[in-house]
Amino acid sequence: MVPLDPHSFTDSTHPLTTHISLSLYFDFPSSTIHGAALFTLSSPHSGPLSLDTRSLSIHQILSPSTLSPLPFSLSPSPDPIKGIHLSLSLPNDNTLSSFLITFSTSPSSSALQWLSPPQTFNKKHPFVYTQCQSIHARSIFPCQDTPAARIRYSALLNVPRELSAIMSARHVDRRLPVSGEGYSNLLPNGFNSLWCSETRVVEDFDMNQPIPPYLFAFAVGELGFREVGPRTRVYSEAVEGVLEAAAKEFAGTEEMIRQGEKLFGDYEWERFDLLVLPPSFPFGGMENPRMVFLTPTVIKGDASGAQVVAHELAHSWTGNLITNKNNEHFWLNEGFTTYAERRIVEAVQGEDRAVLNIGIGWRGLNEEMERFKDNLEFTKLKTNQEGVDPDDVYSEVPYEKGFQFLWRIERQIGRPAFDEFIKKYIVTFKFKSIDTETFLDFLKANIPGIEKEIDLVLWTEGTGIPPDAYEPISNLYTKIVSLANEFKLGRMPREDEVADWHGQEWELYLENLPKVVEASQVLALDARYRLSESKDYEVKVAFLQLAILSKCKNFYGEVENTLKEVGRMKYLRPLYTALVQGTENEEEKILAKRVFAEARECYHPIAQGVVESIFAKHL
């Protein structure tokens, strides 16, 4: 076996899947999906073929034309990172380029969160959604779960008729089920006979552009939407307040798409719809093509949440069109996208706003250097992740160090030349998955001599922050950092100095304060500016982290409330870490364990795993 990806059983000598036709029956009472999947390979194959699975029951593997069984085996015990190796055997006549698998998910699927009605916005109907990045598609259906394998897919989603479904694909139809369609007659456990129940409907989808498996996505629930542009609807559970607030927050989306097209070329995905998920969603956003998933915490009431949308939009070119070959080259997705996001923000919201964004990122990058001081491998852009769960080492490094690398190239050759380079890069590699070496070869071929001006090896393979990285400069940025430095001397900013501040200004200010201050200073800051009550979670969490580290116990109740309100890992990670790290904080550790025990079932499985890994390190 010749591995293609350290996080996949996919064999590089085997043909890759090019298309999957899925029929999925959603059984909400058991929190499971029963499915049939028809796989098409890039070429006929004989002998063994390796697929990734996790927490799946494999019922049958069949030849599609004859429905005769094909031999298969499952590894006896799961790999803690990759899951279960499914090896099937295709006939030796080398004529078969497709096969059929019937399977069922389990309630413990790492990609799926099943929400009961009390856990949803509307409190009336259940809800389920996916999060497949980085390596979780394998817990929904068997696949070559590596970004090197780009697939087209079609899907029939059989759901209760009072619910509706959306996907990262073109919606074809909502209709009554048809008996036997999509091999649904082969579904296990009697669900074949329930396919055509009068209580069910089928939502039909098609994705005809090749995407990596981690971009496979769906959500099923009672959904409503608002139109916010010619290419954009905002979806959420059918709750009036959420939909209206989201539509207002993201009203400028079409202008961002137009600016993105000016910078990076045509938008290739037709639609750019947005789904605001329940608060348990573990990320700020997920760039699923045609249907971006968002946390409700980005709805801030001042349109600043649109910066998260700008990031997910930028992925439409860098990440979705051009994808990292595996997670060791994750910076190719996120560094490029962070650069593209800030260019879009600068065009739409102005240079000062973009510089604040860069400044917050710069501070975050320096904090990640501290986090990984005992494991410098993960301060590199190109990393070695053999035997490493990508969720455990997820950080701002690929985003912010990757951004700094590209910004360094821009400064070297000038923005006009770099803009032309980016456009050529996208045209050259669109709908392909590449690695760092491929990018560097393209860079050197198109910008001759760049390796003499910039140490490309140091930037991509070196640890830490290179000396030619750059802290941003602007009058506003400098003023905020200066005010944060004055706090160390006991001076709080005056109200007239912060009168025009929004969430980002406060976030930058708090990020530049000392990690630990006097509890009386925390109380005084909150008494004047009510940061613990902020509706902007970036501000609120930064303040609560300061309160925990400063042992200001007056805010522990608000810490508990926050950890129970939201499941976004950007907030869970710093708050739980602040509570449990160190040796003289038994009270805080007891609080962390109790809150997690009470809130755990409201977190997505990925977030549960992250908190458990924090506890494993510190408790």
Q: Which residues are annotated as a binding site?
A: 131-133, 282-287, 311, 315, 334, 568-570
Q: How far apart are CA 28 and CA 26, in angstroms?
A: 6
* Residue 18: burial class (beta carbons within 10 Å; 0-12, 13-18, 19+): middle
304 CB neighbour count, 10 Å cutoff: 18
Phi, psi angles (nearest 5°) of residue 27: -110, 90
Closest CA to 35 of 104, 85, 94, 113: 104
Cis peptide before 134 (omega within 30 of 0): yes
User: Which DSSP category does 579 fall into?
Assistant: H
Q: List residues bridging with 255 in a β-sheet.
A: none
Cβ contacts of 225 within 8 Å, gap of 6 or more: 233, 234, 235, 236, 243, 273
Cβ contacts of 385 within 8 Å, gap of 6 or more: 6, 7, 326, 327, 328, 393
Feature table: binding site for Zn(2+): 311, 315, 334
- Residue pair 171/226 in contact by the 8 Å Cβ criterion: no
- Tokens in use for 146? 């590596």
Going by their DSSP bridges, the two strands 291-294 and 285-286 should be labelled as antiparallel
Order of strands, sheet of 84-90, starting from the edge strand that comes earlier in the sequence: 47-53, 84-90, 72-74
615 CB neighbour count, 10 Å cutoff: 17
Judged by DSSP in three states, 62 sits in: strand
Closest CA to 311 of 330, 290, 332, 292: 292
List for the chain the helix, strand, coil content (%; round to 5): 45, 20, 35
Structural element, H or E, at residue 365: helix 351-371
Give the residue carrying structure tokens 């029956």: 25
- Annotated catalytic, 312? yes
Q: How far apart are CA 592 and CA 560, in angstroms?
A: 8
CA atoms within 13 A on the CB side of 598: 12
Residue tagged active-site, from 183, 399, 509, 529: 399
Q: How far apart are CA 119 and CA 518, in angstroms?
A: 38
- Residue pair 35/23 in contact by the 8 Å Cβ criterion: yes
- Residue pair 280/567 in contact by the 8 Å Cβ criterion: yes
441 CB neighbour count, 10 Å cutoff: 11
Feature table: binding site for a peptide: 131-133, 282-287, 568-570
- Annotated catalytic, 576? no
Give the residue carrying structure tokens 């009386």: 520
* Residue 320: burial class (beta carbons within 10 Å; 0-12, 13-18, 19+): buried
- Residue pair 179/47 in contact by the 8 Å Cβ criterion: no
Residue tagged active-site, from 203, 222, 237, 312: 312
Active site residues: 312, 399
